[in-house]
A and B are shown apart, each in its own frame.
Chain A
Amino acid sequence: MAPVKPSGQYDFDLLVIGGGSGGLACAKEASSFGKQVVVLDFVIPSEKGTTWGIGGTCVNVGCIPKKLMHQASLLGESIQEARSYGWNIPDPISFNWESLVEAVQNHIKSVNWVTRVQLRDKKIEYVNGHGVFEDAHTVVAKMKNGKERRITAKDIVIAVGGRPRYPDFPGCKEYCITSDDLFSLPTSPGNTLVIGAGYIGLECAGFLKGLGYESTVMVRSMLLRGFDRGMVNLVQAEMEDKGVKFLIGKIPVKVSKQPNGKLLVEWKGDDGIGQGEFDTVLVATGRKALSEELNPSAAGLQVHPESFKFITNAEQTNIPNIYAVGDVLHERPELTPVAIQAGKLLAGRLYNGIQEQMDYDNVATTVFSPLEYGCVGLTEEDAINRYTENEIEVYHAYYKPTEFFIPQKNVKHCYLKVITLLKAPQKVLGMHFIGPQAGEVIQGYAAAIKAGLTYQHLKDTVGIHPTVSEEFTRVAITKRSGDDPTPQSCCS
């Protein structure tokens, strides 16, 4: 498809490197303002050789397959519970990994296709090539077949995202997989060791256990760094109750393949060395931005010396016509909706005269652990650091979801917390929720916080009964009071 020549000396008005959530949102928005846009997307195969189509991490190897596998795991739990609700279900029930992978991959492939249809329909050109800078207005797209195409554009948006980082120990790259590979793994993972206890590691360990596989998490220092400590402890306790094992304070030393085909993992910790045999070892020890692969210095671009990410001012890099959105931004949340919002607003500022900037504060998120954890705003630790303990109030409560009673599900870790300023009207600084459907619960409260939510507003809100979300309208016990936050009865 020959693009209509844009006004001026360049092939395109906008060139976007990276067809993930942020890049695509920016490209589509720019095209809606009549701009000529080209999107480059290319997936470098993982160490295990896994590749995928357009759409980026979220669609292919992130949020989407993760949520689907989490759902598969929750369904297994629901089938068991259904017996208590009168359903006759044969025993034992069984699960087939290959069928799940096929269903998940088919969903992803149809999303890849729909994405391409949308781009074509909006006259956005899609180039399946790896973009490398030649200068500030020129990018060379390197195709799989070795061909190259030089493309110039007035503006360039970097939206290349990141990929899993492999820790450095013998056998790691050879024998371990990452989240890039898990969701398309052709055979069932079996007994799995997850190295790393960030949200990706915990989510994978959680759904694998729910699907019936033994799962163990190796933790170097702490789980879910950056999240509220009290909440994280409950997430861990719930996972332990569900049978996920934790190796705390351990680092991997070596992975080797045994004659029986199993992987022998050796580790060390404060209490000496240890080892264990697993079928699958998944490393989830953080992600690295794909900035260096762009040859950024050819365009004069600077990256942060440690994170290798771009430091931007309103998404603008140190080169005025080059912008960046999404996971390649230094010290910004690595979340799909953040990238989408930033990409859309950027296109609006560049091509539609709007002034609005991306607000990176008070972004809600959810960890899809077996019992989900959703939060928005400050952690208790951050609130204390920013305001001191004397100036904040922490309301908290354990609660009992109605539907947990009949199957006698564990309610021990259903807990929530609202952090406010002490001074009236007690502006809400942070909200934290562990329980079923945490993401659905916290999303609405995130909008309320954007609108200036106070504790008084929560108190004045009438709940919907019986829901778990209504617990936020009932929370009244402060940590300061020392009163017991456990409920006395089901419907008090």
Chain B
Amino acid sequence: MVYSHRTTNYEEFIALMKTLEESKQKTFVIFTGTPNESGESWCSDCVVADPVIKKQIEQNEEHLKDTNIVYAQVGKREEWKNNNDNPFRVDKKIRLQFLPTLLKWGTLHKLQVEECLKPDLLNMIFKDAEDDS
């Protein structure tokens, strides 16, 4: 079973991660742009990656037992682009540089932008054993 979560700002995200960390469950975070009024993310790369990532999550369900998937919205276009103060960029545990980014929480394993479009790379990050390096 995969548990999906959604956070709409940094404070929500930090609060959620605190509870998830206590649960000791495996957690993946997908950082994405905040949707505009029409409901779509302003970040076109995020929009393209979304169905690809969702499909690979489904396909890897057996590796993702009791796993949390967090969709973390990092802000509107003007809150992200050219804004070095965006809290997701500043936070030392995140140091977010690109959208979308898929991060295996608590590790340095991440996929960025076009890497999120490659099923094979998504399989790798979802399947990995803890001590694989």
Measured CB to CB, the residues of A under 8 A from B are 1, 52-54, 106, 109-110, 112-113, 116-117, 120-121, 123, 128
- Chain B hits for A54, CB < 8 A: 133
CB proximity of A427 to chain B, nearest CB, Å: 47
Q: Which of A54, A106, A112, A120 has the most CB of B within 10 A?
A: A120
Secondary structure type dominating chain A contacts: helix
Q: Indicate if the CB atoms of B124 and A116 lie closer than 8 Å.
A: yes
The segment out of B26-34, B47-55, B67-75, B103-111 that lies at the interface is B103-111
B121 & A109 in contact (Cβ 8 Å cutoff): no
Determine whether the beta carbon of B133 is less than 8 Å from that of A117.
no
Please, which residues of chain B bring their CB within 8 A of the CB of A120? Answer: 120-121, 124
Docked pose: A52 CA to B131 CA in angstroms: 10
Of chain B, the residue at the smallest CB distance from A106 is B108
Assess whether B110 is in contact with A113, with CB atoms less than 8 Å apart. yes
Min CB gap A155→B, angstroms: 25
B109 contact set on A, CB distance < 8 A: 113
A52 & B133 in contact (Cβ 8 Å cutoff): yes
Asked whether, in the complex, the Cβ of B108 is within 8 Å of the Cβ of A1, the reply is no
Contact between chains at B124 and A117 (CB < 8 Å) = yes
Rounded to whole angstroms, the CA-CA distance of A354 and B133 in the bound complex is 34
CA distance A14 to B85 in the complex (A): 48
Quick check: A109 and B124 within 8 Å, CB to CB? no
Q: CB within 8 A of B133: which of A1, A106, A113, A121?
A: A113
Q: Are B121 and A53 in contact (CB under 8 A)?
A: no
Min Cβ gap B13→A in Å is: 21
Tell which of B107, B108, B121, B132 has the most Cβ of chain A within 10 Å: B108
Nearest neighbor of B131 in chain A, beta-carbon distance: A144
B74-109 interface code vs A (CB 8 A; 1 in, 0 out) = 000000000000000000000000000000000111
Establish whether residues B124 and A110, one from each chain, have CB atoms under 8 Å apart when the complex forms. Answer: no
Q: Flag whether B45 is at the interface (Cβ < 8 A).
A: no
Instruction: Using CB atoms, name the residue of chain A closest to B120.
Output: A120
CA distance A112 to B107 in the complex (A): 12
- Give which listed residue, A106, A117, A128, contacts B121 with CB less than 8 A: A117
Asked if B118 CB lies within 8 Å of chain A CBs, one says yes
Residue contact B108 to A109, C-beta cutoff 8 Å: yes
Nearest CB to that of B114 among chain A residues? A121
Q: How far is the CB of B59 from the nearest CB of chain A, in Å?
A: 14
B108 A121 Cβ-Cβ under 8 A: no
Contacts A109-B133, A113-B133; A121 near B110 (Cβ below 8 A): no
Q: How far is the CA of A113 from the CA of B120 in the complex (A)?
A: 15
Question: B121 to A113, Cβ gap below 8 A?
Answer: no
Could you say which residues of chain B place their CB within 8 Å of the CB of A53? 133
Residue from B107, B115, B121, B133 whose CB has the most chain A CB atoms within 10 Å? B133
Q: In whole angstroms, how far apart are the Cα atoms of A110 and B118 in the complex?
A: 19
B108→A110 contact, CB < 8 A: yes
Residues on A with beta carbons closer than 8 Å to the beta carbon of B111:
117
Question: Which residues of the other chain, A, contact B124 by a CB distance below 8 angstroms?
Answer: 116-117, 120
Contact of B132 among A106, A117, A128 (CB under 8 A): A128
Closest Cβ–Cβ distance, residue B101 to chain A (whole Å): 13
Verify A1–B132 contact, CB threshold 8 A. no
Decide if A112 touches B121 in the complex (CB within 8 Å).
no
A44 CB to nearest B CB, Å: 15
Please indicate the chain A residues that have their CB under 8 angstroms from the CB of B107 in the complex: 109, 113
Docked complex Cα distance between A54 and B107 (Å):
16
Question: Would B132 and A121 count as touching, CB distance under 8 A?
Answer: no
Residues of A within 8 Å of B110, CB to CB, are 113
Q: List 30 A-B contacts (CB under 8 A).
A: A1-B120, A52-B133, A53-B133, A54-B133, A106-B108, A109-B107, A109-B108, A109-B133, A110-B108, A112-B133, A113-B107, A113-B108, A113-B109, A113-B110, A113-B133, A116-B124, A116-B133, A117-B111, A117-B115, A117-B121, A117-B124, A120-B120, A120-B121, A120-B124, A121-B115, A121-B118, A121-B120, A121-B121, A123-B120, A128-B132
B123 to chain A, nearest CB (A): 8
Measured in the bound complex, the distance between the Cα atoms of B109 and A106 in whole Å is 11
Complex alpha-carbon distance, A110 and B104, angstroms: 12
Nearest-Cβ distance from residue B28 to partner chain A, whole angstroms: 14
Which residue on B lies nearest to A1, using beta carbons? B120
Alpha-carbon distance between A54 and B131 when the two chains are bound, in angstroms: 12
Residue of B nearest to A52 (CB): B133
Cα(A53)–Cα(B133), bound, Å: 5
- Chain B residue, CB-CB nearest to A110: B108
Smallest CB-CB separation from A117: which chain B residue? B121
Cα A1 to Cα B110 in complex, Å, equals: 20
Q: Which 8 A-B pairs have the closest CB atoms?
A: A53-B133, A110-B108, A109-B108, A112-B133, A113-B109, A120-B124, A113-B108, A120-B120
Complex CA gap A242/B108 in Å reads: 37
Minimum CB–CB distance from B68 to chain A (whole Å) comes to 20
Interchain CA distance A123-B110 in the complex, whole Å: 18
CB of A266 to closest CB in B, whole Å: 39
B112 — nearest CB in chain A belongs to which residue?
Answer: A117
CA distance A182 to B109 in the complex (A): 24
> Once bound together, how far apart are the Cα atoms of A117 and B111, in whole Å?
8
| Residues of A contacting B120 in the complex (Cβ-Cβ under 8 angstroms) | 1, 120-121, 123
Q: How far is it, in angstroms, between the C-alpha of A116 and the C-alpha of B124 when the chains are bound? A: 9
- Counting chain B CB atoms within 10 Å of each CB, the highest count among A106, A109, A117, A128 belongs to A117
- How far apart sit A120 and B115, CA to CA, in the bound complex (Å)? 11
Q: How far is the CA of A131 from the CA of B58 in the complex (A)?
A: 35
Q: How far is the CB of B60 from chain A (nearest CB, A)?
A: 14
> Quick one: CB contact mask for B120-131 with A, threshold 8 Å, 1 for yes?
110010000000
On chain B, the residues within 8 Å of A128 by CB distance are 132
CB distance from A65 to the nearest CB of B (A): 15
* A54, closest chain B residue (CB): B133
Q: Could you say which residues of chain B place their CB within 8 Å of the CB of A52?
A: 133
**Min CB distance, B3 to chain A, in Å?**
25
